[in-house]
Amino acid sequence: MRSLRLHAAGDLRLHDEPVPAPGPGEALLKVSAVGICGSDLHWFNEGNIGDAGLSHPLILGHEIAGVFENGQRVAVDPSITCGQCKFCKEGNPNFCESLIFAGHANQDGALREYMNWPSRFCYPLPAELSNADGVMLEPLGVAIHAVDLAHLQVGMNVGVFGCGPIGLLMIQLAKLSGARQIIASDLLAHRLAAAGPCGATKVIQVEKDKVSPEVLAATREQGLDVIFEAAGQNAAVETSVAALKPGGTIILAGIPSDDHTTFTASIARRKGITIKLVRRMKNTYPRAIGLVQNGKVDVRSLVTHRFPLEKANEAFKTAVRREGIKVIVEI
């Protein structure tokens, strides 16, 4: 089978490898489609993400749709959790002490023709959902978890800073939650153009590495109740602290490339703000499938680029250039 391995930053190579044999509790999957996520781009650009580095030529890919040998199409939860540790038993499997994640550290991901995965972490796709829709359930799951952390209430004023795929899904979920106002910001005009149809009531183009005076002007009167930071940029974090109302909440979902997040402590302290960080997701796949199946969330329009596996290098470079919104590889 063909597999794509990252040997070093920017160094992706196709390999010919044996089809893996399933272990106990595992199913063999024919991979159909894989999304390229922002965290994949950290691996591709930097050869690491946070404190995790390459220990072997790594197969990336954790936004996955595939097919069982019996023909059943599935979406794959990329987290394997033990179910036995204290965090799993508390209902927080995203903090599992033995967590294994596809395309991260020692665990190869899905950019290959076949992979094995525990069947209990595979979710049947309804007939009306495409393989690309199945890929989008993973970023939607992250957005659902972020909104859960925010405890959104009807009538709140919300900010979403960073309008990549997860940010655009956060906008849709905030609208579903009854947000009165949703202010969206991004560096790129084409992503802001997608924010309006997703539910943003105001869009603001910002400059890199600068606190946005336009965002501050738009929020000066009353501030925002909740801000989702999905840009992975400290300027977006600083803008969030400044734009939040006293007692408000910031949800940090972006991943900074230098593994550091900073903000002005005096402002944050004076406002008594709550800051929460998003650790992947938990128990969201059934909800994500229902939202897409019932037409409550649009994932399909966010997929803008498709590449075959043999053009995966081009797919990654397209994603690095932030062209379009979601880039997927079809296998």
Structural domain includes residue 253: yes
What total of structural domains would you count in the chain? 2
Predicted pLDDT of residue 21? 94
Do 192 and 94 share a domain, yes or no? Answer: no
Cα separation of 62 and 161, whole Å? 24
Shared-domain flag, residues 155 and 112: no
Q: Does a structural domain hold residue 117?
A: yes
In a domain, 286, yes or no: no
Question: Does residue 35 lie within any of the structural domains?
Answer: yes
Residues 119 and 153 in one domain: no
319 and 265, same domain (yes or no)? no
Instruction: Determine the distance from the C-alpha atom of residue 79 to the mean position of all C-alpha atoms in its chain, rounded to a whole number.
Output: 13
CATH number of the domain enclosing 263: 3.40.50.720
- Pick the closest to residue 167 from 252, 95, 237 (CA basis): 252
Using pLDDT thresholds of 50, 70 and 90, give the confidence band for residue 257: confident
Mean pLDDT score, 227-254: 96
Cα R_g (the chain), whole angstroms: 19
Whether residue 170 lies inside any domain: the answer is yes
Summarised one tens digit per residue, pLDDT across range 19-39 is 999 999 999 999 999 999 999
Q: How far apart are CA 59 and CA 45, in angstroms?
A: 15
* 48 assigned to some structural domain: yes
Say if residue 258 is in the same domain as residue 174: yes
Cα separation, 63 vs 78, whole angstroms: 7
Residues 167 and 103 in one domain: no
pLDDT of residue 50: 83
Domain residues for 36?
A: 2-124+299-330
Does any domain span residue 191? Answer: yes
Same domain, 118 and 12: yes
Percent of the chain with pLDDT over 70: 100
Q: Is the pTM of this model over 0.85?
A: yes
Same domain, 86 and 163: no
Alpha helices in the chain (DSSP H): 38-46, 86-89, 131-150, 165-176, 189-198, 213-219, 234-243, 265-271, 285-293, 312-320
